[in-house]
Structure 1
Amino acid sequence: MPKYVRPTRADGVFNGLVSLSTRLGLPLAGSRVLAVRGRTSGEWRTTPVNPLRIGGERYLVAPRGTTHWVRNLRAAGSGRLQHGRRVEEFTAVELADADKPPILREYLRAWAWEVGRFFDGLDKDSPDERLLDVASDFPVFRITTVSE
């Protein structure tokens, strides 16, 4: 069964504040508001995310596991990232588990202060073998901006 960590009430309040500040153009440490079409409704669904840039590539990591935004992005294959008035459309490709360890390591290096609790004792110094063992619990997408 895919990993999924349900947000607590406190998480909902925190996510709401991060989303609001990001929409106002004051992103928390580079956060963005992700918008993806719902897989059944077709309506836009939003949530705050922490995009990660590594060597010219950008990634979205799902620290809570297979969430609704992950399922929606798998179905849609594209979405939007917003901060302030800037909206960026992108396409997404999900990475294979074997490709995730270096991405998960950098994600933990950048965002462990916020999402480390979802990684059950892992950190930026965890061996690749350990990161590979849990890779299936953390969906990762490479995102590419759609040129207009």
Structure 2
Amino acid sequence: MTAATRYLAPTGFDPIFNRIVNLLPKLGISIAGSRLLAVRGRKSGEWRTTMVNVMTAADGERYLVAPRGHTQWVRNLRAAGTGELRLGRKTETFTAAEVADADKIPLLRHYLERWGWEVDRFFEGVTKNATDAQLAEIAPGFPVFRLDRVR
């Protein structure tokens, strides 16, 4: 598996845990900024949902980072270019622009500072204290999208 195709599928109790955790944003409960991401399937056109951590960076922009790599939601978001962030009855529509690998370094570091406790196992030993070179090396395996609200 190359960095450009890196994908860590859920294993063990992950599918059960994910079902439970995905209920929280539906009920209006956010843990550390979590939201339910809704994106139209690139083949089916049906809404697909998963919980994500919405990160606000130092520049004030909001981002989504895919800690498991090139997942189905990543592929669907690339194809659709738009989606929704849901929390309870609130829905926010956004457009997404994928961030270039060279621009991910500070974003990956910030993401690890904020959610390393939750996602560290997906980063395979790379932490918030990693060098810029280490983060640049893993960047292709971690898609990042800048989100812009649709007004």
1:61 counterpart (61, 65, 68): 65
- Map 1:68-147 to 2 at 5 A: 68-147=72-151
Please, which runs of 5 or more residues in structure 1 have no aligned partner?
none
In structure 2, give the amino acid aligned to 1:81: L
- Residue 41 of structure 2 corresponds to 38
- 1:16 deviation in Å? 1.5
Following superposition, the deviation at residue 99 of structure 1 comes to: 0.2
What TM-score do the two structures reach when normalised by structure 2?
A: 0.94
Gaps in structure 2 of 5+ consecutive residues: none
Deviations 1:101-130 (A, max 9, x none): 100001001111111101011111111110
Instruction: Indicate whether 1:50 and 2:53 are aligned.
Output: yes
Deviation at residue 34 of structure 1 after TM alignment: 0.3
Query: What is the number of residues matched between the two proteins?
Result: 147
- Contact 1:27–1:83 under 8 Å retained in 2: yes
The one-character-per-residue Cα deviations of 1:6-42 (angstroms, maximum 9, x if unpaired) are 0124112222122111110111221100000000110
Distance in 2 (CA, whole Å) between partners of 1:146 and 1:95 is 19
Question: What value does the CA root-mean-square deviation take over the aligned residues?
Answer: 0.9
| Alignment match, 2:28 | 25
Which runs of 4 or more aligned residues in structure 1 lie more than 3 Å from their structure 2 counterparts after TM superposition?
Answer: none
| Greater shift in the superposed pair: 17-26 or 32-41 | 17-26
Tell me the TM-score normalized by structure 1: 0.96
**For 1:40-76, what per-residue CA distance to the aligned partner results, in whole angstroms no more than 9, with x for missing partners?**
1100000000110013100000000000000000000
- Percent of residue pairs identical: 59
CA deviation string 1:59-103 (max 9, x = no partner) = 000000000000000000000000111100000000110000100
CA contact (8 A) 1:32 1:48 kept: yes
Which region of structure 1 is more displaced relative to structure 2, 20-29 or 76-85? 20-29
CA contact (8 A) 1:33 1:82 kept: yes
| Conserved 8 A contact 1:18-1:27 | no
